[in-house]
Structure 1
Amino acid sequence: MNFSFKRSLIAATIVTSAMVASQVTIADVPESKDPIKIAVNEWTGQHLSANITAELLKKKGYNVELVTAGGLSQLTAIAQGEIHLNPELWDNSITDAYTNAVASGDILVRGSLGLKPQEGWIYPKYMKEKCPGLPNYQALYDCAQSFANAETYPKGRLITYPADWGTRSKDVVASIDLPFVAVAGGSEGAMVAELKSALAAKEPILMMFWQPHWLFAEIDVDWVTWNPIEGECVEETQNRNTACGFAQANAVKIESKMVAQKWPEASELFKKIKISNEEQNRMILAVDQKKRPLSEVVDEWMIQNKSKWSEWVK
């Protein structure tokens, strides 16, 4: 074989290899044109997490569909592969359907989203005058009437999460025999409106709530405190003297087992996604209070964080 012919053959081989590599890349990502379905739950923070996840998957070429899903019903759907991802599941608002699906491998936990959640009961600072002993939960036994309304008197009124989010506050009230009536909030928006109304009129209010949330950048409230314990706090098995309140929440990313099988590169990208409290608080404030379109706020996050997510997409 002469040198000129050999060089031409090598060049042709390189070109052919490059073409094959290009074809493999195009063929492999996305591995399927079927839509990856992302759960959208009831609160703005999760809407943002879901939409950011959708945009990141689109950057890698995937077809994406956002699906409105209830907090509890989505777990069965994800386990069965009818919905594929949820980037922000608060793992202390779960049921046996979730733990069983994780144990069986039908739902895979893909790490923390990066948030540092807190959940519990909040109240206005002016309620300390009417209920000495706050923030300790034991004070609520002696001043339940201070939190009552016409429907609950003489028991206090506690506004809990919407019914579809579970019964954790109701379980705590029952297990520690607290003289309060747990009343489910209609939605996140309805809860915020009731809290603002109470604050404006300096009326009593005790409410289950969470952070991150824009609320804590604008409203000055306190949290009920509980007994510290070692290990996990189990809400339905507490008693008055040793109550620990609520289990420590983690905002985890979950996916159906079929994602890693059908869209392995999407699954790898999903593992890398991180959003901080500060980022989410600013975005929630922009959407809920400044009334900016959610899509605009998500696009802004994508622009501001391009150097970060570019590495994830690689």
Structure 2
Amino acid sequence: MKAKSLISAAVMALAGSGMALADSSDPIKIPINEWTGQHISAHITGTLFKKAGYEVEYVTAGAVPQFAAIAQGDLHLQPEVWTNNVGDIYPKAVESGDIVVLGQLGLQPQEGWIFPPYMKEKCPGLPSYDALYECAEAFAAADTFPKGRLITYPADWGTRSKDVVGMIELPFEPVAGGSEGAMIAEAKSAVATGDPILMMFWQPHWLFADMDMEWVAWDAADGECVEESGQERGKACGFQQATIDKIANKNFASDYPGANAIFEAMSLDNSVQNALMLEIDQKGRPLEEVVAEWVDANEATWKPWVDAGLAAKQ
């Protein structure tokens, strides 16, 4: 018992000094997707792994293609999986056991179509989606008239808005945004000039701290909203509201038991992400600097997570 206590004390001392030894000398590979919030989640995760002595490598990967790489072990984990935008590979990999879900990250997400409040004057009946049938021209652009223009996610994020438009026969033309930045720039430009805009978007996001936007309202779903089929005018639930999961390759827990314990314990909420995204996307500060600043200021929050990881390595 005395020896075990001495070992535990030594481990904790190493934690404080940042000198803890990792389970494996191989770096933990964390994918970087297309949006800033995920960059924050990934880099906080990686920073905490480094606090426990692990080597970390960040790898650029698409939000859907990453799942094949995680299932095969080429990437190790993902802290921010929006479960309503995962394609076919992810659920099959979870079912087969190649990908393990380690709980939710803690964010409270929402996805759907947003518009600026002044569009209520041009389209009476908003926020109900039903109003869009009667005032599509109010949202039209030169290249879509008489149909309204709907800005959707970038093409490699999937076709969910386009699918819903088709199912409910809404007189709108879906136009894929080039990137998150391009979508935000278009929203800012429209609001600055009072022009119409309807756009697929999500929260948490700094946009809602910077701009006044409202959400299109849908019919209540009978149970969970099913996007893929069964929607029609009068019975349109719009979009399944996601959970945000933490996932890892099936071998991660055995290869990196300490990091796995940290990953299971860690949690982030909307207020953290929104604040950090604002610093990065609006104030132009480097991601690494903003994340390091949060980590330095919030040791009381993350230290128990790292301690759990160190304990799992004994």
Question: What TM-score, normalized to structure 2?
Answer: 0.91
Larger radius of gyration: 1
C-alpha separation in 1, matches of 2:244 and 2:300: 24
Taking only aligned residues, the RMSD between alpha carbons, in angstroms, comes to 2.1
Partner residue in 1 for 2:139: 147
Which amino acid in the other structure matches residue 146 of structure 1?
Answer: A
Partner residue in 1 for 2:201: 209
Instruction: Give percent identity, aligned residues only.
Output: 60
Structure 1 residues 16, 104: CA separation in 2 closer, same or farther (over 3 Å shift)?
A: closer
1:120 aligns with 2:133: no
Partner residue in 2 for 1:187: 179
C-alpha separation in 1, matches of 2:120 and 2:69: 44
1:198 aligns with 2:190: yes
C-alpha separation in 2, matches of 1:17 and 1:278: 39
**Do 1:159 and 1:208's aligned partners in 2 also have CA atoms closer than 8 Å?**
yes
Structure 1 residues 91, 20: CA separation in 2 closer, same or farther (over 3 Å shift)?
A: closer
Partner residue in 2 for 1:33: 25
Partner residue in 2 for 1:233: 225
Which string of whole-angstrom CA distances, capped at 9 and with x for unpartnered residues, describes residues 206-250 of structure 1?
Answer: 000011111111111111000112322111311111100100111
Runs of 4+, deviation exceeding 3 Å: 13-23
Partner residue in 2 for 1:280: 273
C-alpha separation in 2, matches of 1:184 and 1:33: 42
Partner residue in 1 for 2:251: 258
C-alpha separation in 1, matches of 2:190 and 2:78: 34
Which amino acid in the other structure matches residue 260 of structure 1?
Answer: A
Structure 1 residues 149, 264: CA separation in 2 closer, same or farther (over 3 Å shift)?
A: same
C-alpha separation in 2, matches of 1:20 and 1:307: 20
- Deviation of residue 124 (structure 1)? 1.0
Partner residue in 1 for 2:58: 66
- Deviation of residue 281 (structure 1)? 0.4
C-alpha separation in 2, matches of 1:157 and 1:245: 17
Question: Could you tell me which of 143, 168, 171 is aligned with 2:160?
Answer: 168
- Deviation of residue 292 (structure 1)? 1.1
**Do 1:117 and 1:210's aligned partners in 2 also have CA atoms closer than 8 Å?**
yes
Aligned residues: 300
Question: What TM-score, normalized to structure 1?
Answer: 0.91
Name whichever of 169-178 and 28-37 sits farther off. Answer: 28-37
Which amino acid in the other structure matches residue 52 of structure 1?
Answer: I
Which amino acid in the other structure matches residue 312 of structure 1?
Answer: W
